[in-house]
Amino acid sequence: MSLPLSGSLIAGTQSLFGIKMQLQFGRATLTTVFSEQKSETSTIRVDGGAQTTNFEIYADDYEANKHYFLAQYFYDNYDMALSNMPIINSNIIITNLEVWVTNRSGVTQNVRNVLAFQDLGEQLSNVHNTTNVYAGSLNTPYPDNRNNSLGPEILVTDFPNIRSVSQITSQLNGTGYEQAVDYEKIENAKKLSSSEYSFDSRLGFISLNQALNSDEVLAVSFQYTINGIPYQVGELSTDVASPDALILKLLKSTTVDINLPMWRLLMKNVYALGAYQVNKEDFDLQILYQDDDSGTPLPFIPEEGLSGELLIQTLNLDNLNQNLDPGANGVFDFIPNLTIKTSNGRVYLPSREPFGDYLRTKFNEAGLNNDLADQYVFDALYDSTKTAASQVAELNKFILRGQYKSSSGADIPLNAMSIPQGSVTVSMGGTPLEENVHYTVDYNLGRVKIIDEGILSSGQQIDVSLENNSGYTWMTKRYLGLHADYKFNDDLILGATILNLSENSQTPKINMGDEPISNTIWGINGSYKTEAPIITKIIDKLPLIQTKEKSNIILTGEFAQFIPGHPKTINVDETGTAYIDDFENSQSPIDIRNSQSWSLASTPQDPDLFPEAFETNNLSYGYNRALLSWYTINSDLQRKTAYSPSHLSDEDREAPYVREISINEIFPDKDIPHGQPLRLRTFDLAFYPEERGPYNFDVEGIPGTSSGINSDGELIDPESRWGGVFRQIQTNDFESANIEFLEFWMMDPFLENTISAGGDFYINLGNVSEDILKDSRKSYENGLPIDGSEENIDTTAWGRVPSVQALVAAFNSGADARSLQDVGIDGMNDEMEREFIATEAGEIVSYLDRIQNEYGLTSDAYLNANDDPAADNYHFFYGDDYDAQQKGILERYKKYNGLEGNSPTGDEAISSYTQLPDIEDINNDFTLSEAESYFQYNISMRPQDLDQVGENYITSIIENAGPNSDTRWIQFKVPVRSFDKKIGSIPDFRSIRFMRMYLRGFQEPVF
């Protein structure tokens, strides 16, 4: 539709989509239009059958975690091998390669257990663990299994059970090999197919199609020849039968440590152009230096001795002419599969540290001193992380700039999805083309396919215009127009127009430059026309002129006023507001309140607090675990509804640690959008230091470790007991994600007990063991047999564990399967637990017999333990038994985190905690992580330490909060880099895989 206007001050509009109405009232006509646009219009231009794109990439923006050297030898010789391109100076030919990674996708085909060593195949001069790795039968600079004692033949002799994945840790523990540093074990590692990576058989590096996460492992094995002589690093999958672990070369571990030799294996000289099928034609790449003195990027180093040649020549990227014959021509040497991979647009610079060590060499060759070189050489790019290097602004001045033309062929990607039907138009050389005749459109996937081959072969420019309706647009545009004309007669017409163009954003906070408008323009116009015969007569009197038409006088006039404005949604006061920097929204919080994402924690390996943590396959490992419950209270317990237990009173529901919390109680000035719940979802912890936690079989106590239990079954010396939970951290590279604080609000835990002595709250960030029942065996409920037999079952100090590996995380089907599998991570139901004797831990009688011997059959300790020997039974927060006992809200959550019976089926499924089996694999990578290396933070939870802002990580306190003005809220903000203690060899914050929280030092319950 359109709104044509006759005036010149107010322009009409064409090609609108909306509603148009035309009315006439006698001599008056009225035209109105309304149009709304929620999509964005964009145009894609394809020139000569290809799209031309400019690019600009800074040196620090290399493609990380995708490209790796296969061994230190290839790192050491990369520059030399490419010193005389296009000839590759290497006599190595890799003939076979297998690549293994952490099995995040859960595939079940082509998986194996693997054990990967960092120093495997390296000659002794490149070995990291010089204390334990000794010379092998071969001493060659080339990588080979025989170079050192980590070769499979020697390794299996030194460690006979090393191929059993369940015994790897126990075999290497205490021998000087550190997990995540010297080695990694991966259960059910995924073997990548040849389509998921590429490799250079002469230069010895691989390029993955998909970048690895910071906590994922990469390992390889390969065979190669030198002048026909074969060599091998690691084991191929055909060398060793499953389920024995393959011994591989480790290229990347779960921990990113720039001080390890592995860091050198990560290639930092590969840059992604974001293109596919790149053409040599019209390709241009220059390397520039951002010069502060001139203020412009220069294609050379502005120093005498180097300013005479282009940077692409300095960095060995221009030595050939267009025919690849020797001779620089000022153009990037476009050598497919060497300097550029045309299929995916990756540029490979021919030196491992082009802006570092290689550039320094060029300064030295030019006779320039190191002090001057230090002003240019970007060493931080290679000896620190990508994120850290980007902060060195004074050296991050090298730029890869140019353009490329990538072939589109018949298919033209539109870079959008869910495109409105009919919104795509295609033209060739300005001539519109017809859909389904010259081209077709896939509106869902966002692709145009040219079906007329004559158009492709013509080489003419093709323009594609479209509306991108991606499902979310932050700005909605509306156009409203009204035009009226009053026709007094055929000669006199008066008109009036008013137009409004407005934009409405989804958020009231707008950045400067993105302000929405609400502009109005109005005006009036008129025209008068009449015949003027007198003018005709006057002209006719002129010599040689004789008129044939009547003369007319036409008078037009118009007036218009433009009124700029903005929508009221961005008003802070009476005027619109745009933000230079919205500091409030500059934070990107990661919400970790979901209670079901947390699991029962393994014992922290802090020798000062937990001497028992270093025991393996020993019940003392869990002797100090007390009861900790974690949950989010169901709203039906906080409100009086049809589902609420009848005995709960308003006073019960309004108790401080169970009542419903309003958002405005903590954030009184927060604007809550319409329809958003007012209830603040909280993550609640309840710690009972005198009550036995799951899998705590302490009875008599051990001097220096635990104090035992009393006749009531309560833990003696509750201050020495602890309770904890842990979870996976999915955003685990804190450095690149710029995670700086742990921040939380906590209700004062001493509102009802102001004289409590309190205790300590600890947070661990880093590598945390998933071996909750420490025995180096991964327990998973769905691995237990469903026929009641003991087939494929092993016994540890804790109970029963499957001897086969899990390929899926799901229970078996069958009538009795759930009751036989949903028994907790000890692999035993209550009946089995009553009779079980932990012979693996040196016990000669059962846990119940130990209590009977100590306190008798009639003691509360025995009776309570007999009901639930492992203290791992689950109970939903509802239940007739709870109602009969008139249990309060807190009591209802004491067994809510139990593991045995927490996945009922049928009619009881509604009361389940989860429908997935409990597995000692919190991050779902199919591997039992046993490493303990983390940063520790200690927050005092003593009443006297919770009063002062600025102390004990406290940043704010709200007094007199809540409906009765009797609640106190405390905000904690813990800088992650201000840790109190470092456990293990964790180097930094680039791989924070887990978070563990635990309470210790309390004499009485705390909520």
Cβ atoms of 300 and 313 closer than 8 Å = no
d(CA 85, CA 748): 69
Does a cis peptide bond (omega within 30 degrees of 0) precede residue 508? no
Q: What is the pLDDT of residues 936-990, one digit of tens each?
A: 999 999 999 999 999 999 999 999 998 988 999 999 999 999 999 999 999 999 9
For residue 83, the model assigns a pLDDT of: 95
In the predicted model, is pLDDT for residue 471 greater than 50?
no
Could you give the dihedral angle defined by the CA atoms of residues 982, 993, 380 and 333, in that order, rounded to the nearest 10 degrees? Answer: 160
Phi, psi (degrees; rounded to nearest 5) at 682: -115, 155
Q: What is the pLDDT of residue 406?
A: 64
Amino acid at residue number 138: L
Q: Kindly state the tokens that stand for 9.
A: 């001050």
Q: What is the 3-state secondary structure (H, E, C) of 739-807?
A: CCEEEEEEECCCCCCCCCCCEEEEEEEEECCCCCCCCCCCCEHHHCCCCCCCCCEEECCCCEEECCCCC
Q: Where does residue 642 rank: exposed (0-12), middle (13-18), buried (19+ CB within 10 A)? A: exposed
Radius of gyration of the chain (CA): 37
- Rounded-to-integer distance, Cα 870 and Cα 828, Å: 9
Q: Which residue, among 45, 44, 49, 46, has the nearest Cα to 459 in the 3D structure?
A: 49
What mean pLDDT is reported for the chain? 91
Q: What is the DSSP letter of 720?
A: G
Q: Terminal CA-to-CA distance of the chain, rounded, Å?
A: 66
At 398 the pLDDT is 97
Percent of the chain with pLDDT over 70: 96
Provide the 3-class DSSP secondary structure of residue 54: strand
Both structure tokens of 609: 């607090």
Of 705, 709, 1007, residue with least CA distance to 864: 709
Between 9 and 846, the higher pLDDT residue: 846
Where are the alpha helices (H) located in 391-492, listed in sequence order? 453-458
Answer for the pair 845, 699: CB distance below 8 angstroms, yes or no: no
Query: What is the rounded CA–CA span in Å between residue 988 and residue 734?
Result: 9
- Are 363 and 306 in contact, with CB atoms under 8 Å apart? yes
Q: Cα–Cα distances in Å, from 309 out to 306, 352, 879?
A: 6, 21, 82
Beta-carbon contacts of residue 408 (< 8 Å; ≥ 6 apart): 46, 49, 50, 51
What beta strand segments (E) does 106-257 contain?
A: 111-117, 183-191, 197-200, 205-208, 218-226, 229-233, 246-252
Q: How far apart are CA 22 and CA 553, in angstroms?
A: 30
Q: What angle do CA 477, 483, 487 make, to 5 degrees?
A: 170
Whether the bond into 243 is cis, omega within 30 of 0: yes
Share of the chain above pLDDT 90, in %: 73
Question: Residue 472: what pLDDT?
Answer: 45
Candidates 315, 318, 78; CA nearest to 202 is: 78
Cβ-contact 385, 260 below 8 angstroms = no
pLDDT for the residue 996: 98
Task: Give the range among 276-280, 464-468, 775-779 with minimum mean pLDDT.
Answer: 464-468
What's the pLDDT tens digit per position in 550-609?
Answer: 888 889 999 999 999 888 877 767 777 877 765 555 677 889 999 999 999 999 999 999
* Backbone φ, ψ for residue 95 (5° rounding): -105, -20
| pLDDT for the residue 814 | 80
| Count of beta carbons in the 10 Å neighbourhood of residue 418 | 13
Comparing 473-487, 710-724, 915-929, which segment has the lowest mean pLDDT? 473-487
CB 837 within 8 A of CB 843: yes
Return the closest-CA partner of residue 359 out of 398, 393, 401: 398
In the numeric block, which tokens belong to residue 637?
A: 């317990």
- Rounded to an integer, what is the distance from CA 168 to the centroid of its chain? 30
Q: What is the pLDDT of residue 584?
A: 56
CA distance linking residue 556 with residue 289, whole number of Å: 61
**Residue 411 confidence (pLDDT):** 76
pLDDT tens, position by position, 503-530: 877 666 777 777 888 999 999 999 999 8
Please check the confidence at residue 476 and state whether its pLDDT lies above 80. Answer: no
Question: For residue 258, how many C-alpha atoms fall within 13 Å in the half-sphere facing its CB?
Answer: 15
- At 112, list the tokens: 């194996």
Length of the chain: 1007
> Helix or strand or coil: residue 960?
strand
Q: DSSP code of 855?
A: H
Residue 78, pLDDT above cutoff 50? yes
Amino acid at 120: L
**Burial bucket for residue 19 (CB in 10 Å: 0-12, 13-18, 19+):** exposed
CA distances from 538 to 530, 543, 547, 553 (A): 17, 11, 10, 14
How many other C-beta atoms lie within 10 A of the C-beta of residue 376?
A: 20
pLDDT digits (tens, 9 = 90+) for 369-385: 999 999 999 999 999 99
| Residues 6+ positions from 339 with CB-CB distance below 8 Å | 85, 317, 332, 333, 347, 348, 349, 350
H or E element at residue 370: helix 370-373
CB atoms within 10 A of CB 268: 23
pLDDT at position 583 is 58
**For residues 979-1005, b (16+ Cβ closer than 10 Å) or e, as one string?**
beeebbebbbbbbbbbbbbbbbbbeeb
pLDDT in tens, 212-267: 999 999 999 999 999 999 999 999 999 999 999 999 999 999 998 999 999 999 99
The 3 state secondary structure assigned to 639-663 is CCCCCCCCCCCHHHHCCCCCCCCEH
pLDDT for residue 550: 82
Q: Which amino acid, 543? A: P
Under the banding of pLDDT at 50, 70 and 90, the label for residue 318 is very high
Question: Burial level of 8, CB count in 10 A (0-12/13-18/19+)?
Answer: exposed
The SS3 assignment for 362 reads helix
User: What is the token pair recorded at 29?
Assistant: 């006509």
Specify whether the CB–CB gap between 238 and 223 falls below 8 A. Answer: no
Tell me which residue of 420, 417, 513, 512 sits closest to 36, measured CA to CA: 420
Provide mean pLDDT across the span 81-109. 94
pLDDT for 407 beyond 80:
no
pLDDT digits 0-9 by tens, 102-159: 998 888 899 999 999 999 999 999 999 999 999 999 989 999 999 999 999 999 999 9
Strands 246-252, 111-117: parallel, antiparallel or unpaired by DSSP? Answer: parallel
